[in-house]
Amino acid sequence: MLAALLYGQEDLRLEQVPDPTPSDGEVVIKVGAATTCGTDLKVWRRGGHAKMLTPPTLFGHEAAGTIVAIGADVQNWQIGDRVVANNSAPCMKCFFCQRQEYSLCPHLTWNNGTFAEYLKIPAPIVEHNMLSVPDDLPLELAAMTEPLACVLHGISRSNIKQNDRVVVLGDGAIGLMFVGVLATEKQAQVLLWGGNNQRLEIGKKLGAVQTFNYHQTVDIPGVVKELTDGWGADVVIEATGVPSVWETAIACARPGATVNLFGGCPRDTSITVNTEQLHYSELTLKGVFHNTPEYVRSALSLISSRKIPFELLISEQRPLKDLEQVFADMKARRVIKVAML
């Protein structure tokens, strides 16, 4: 089959590799749609990921498709079923899983390789994190279940109340997903910052009450305070993975606020925190990573409801052979998400 392999920093190659064969408890799906992701872009630019993969490796982690092969001991699934599989599953046995802190499981089973004609789903994911896709839901929308599950996990940890003034920093797919869910499900007043006017327009369509291009804003925390009676935002979501923006996020927060440092920064980076502000303003700083089986199911349900127009995030559909150009387009911020068919 044709598949994408990541060899290192911005070194992505399409190669012919053997078709996968399922072992006990596994299934193989024919990939109908694999969506690109900001995490994929970061991994491609950095040449690796601290948790998910080590090059050289099959690449990509968001996909939906149709089961074409089933291993022994697989229950309740049939060839021809339309499915979406998360890119991980917890062990369900360790210290963290026993406390339902599944994203912290040190034995997470990871799965990469969605940018390929076929994808093998490991047994733990089949058991805990593979879901049936409704017949009327396009596979390219179902493929976005994994990133939306991460967003729902992040929102659940952010202490958001109805009508809270929430700042979202970042107009990538994740930031825009935050906007859509916060505005629709939480009735929050979302202020979105980004660097691309077209993406900011999509942010408005998803429910942001105001949008700002950071290229035209010298003092983001100052603007936030002007818009919030001089205090700052109730909640701040950082969705860029840039250390300096983590610091900006903290500076945008009012006393008593929660700051969700959601964007994963490069390995071994650090930030400076004002201890006086942290202590006397009683700030809550949270790092939130990945998702859990609960939010995988909630994400697919929300996508299937069509309450939020997540299709706005898919800039275009392309064949697998165009993958290298697609990543160049993502790097240049010409596209948000692309559905590789």
First to last CA, the chain: 14
pLDDT, position 218 = 84
Per the CATH hierarchy, to which homologous superfamily does domain 158-287 belong?
NAD(P)-binding Rossmann-like Domain (3.40.50.720)
Query: Would you state the structure tokens that stand for residue 318, as one six-digit string?
Result: 């392309």
Predicted model pTM: 0.96
Residues 323 and 90: their CA atoms lie apart, in Å, by 30
What is the bridge-based pairing of β-strands 189-194 and 210-213? parallel
**pLDDT of 50 over the 70 cut:** no
Percent of the chain, pLDDT > 70? 99
318 or 44: which leads in pLDDT:
318
pLDDT at 294: 98
Question: What DSSP string runs through 77-90?
Answer: --TT-EEEE-SEE-
Please give the share of the chain, as a percent, with pLDDT higher than 90.
92
State the pLDDT confidence band at 53, using cuts at 50, 70 and 90. Answer: confident
Report the pLDDT value the prediction gives residue 47, as an integer from 0 to 100: 74
3-class secondary structure per residue, 143-173:
CCHHHHHHHHHHHHCCCCCCCCEEEEECCCH
Tell me the C-alpha distance between 30 and 26, whole Å.
14
Pairing verdict, β 284-287 and 63-70:
unpaired
Looking at every residue in the chain, the average pLDDT score rounds to 96
Flag whether pLDDT at 239 surpasses 90: yes
Give the pLDDT score at 267. Answer: 85
- The pLDDT score that the predictor gives to residue 213 is 98
Q: What is the per-residue burial (b if ≥16 Cβ within 10 Å, else e) of 19-34? A: ebebeebbbbbebbbb
| CA–CA dist 193, 276 (Å, integer) | 26
Summarize pLDDT for 77-127 with one digit per residue, the tens: 999 999 999 999 999 999 999 999 999 999 999 999 999 999 999 999 999
Domain limits, the chain: 2-149+290-340, 158-287
CATH number of 2-149+290-340: 3.90.180.10
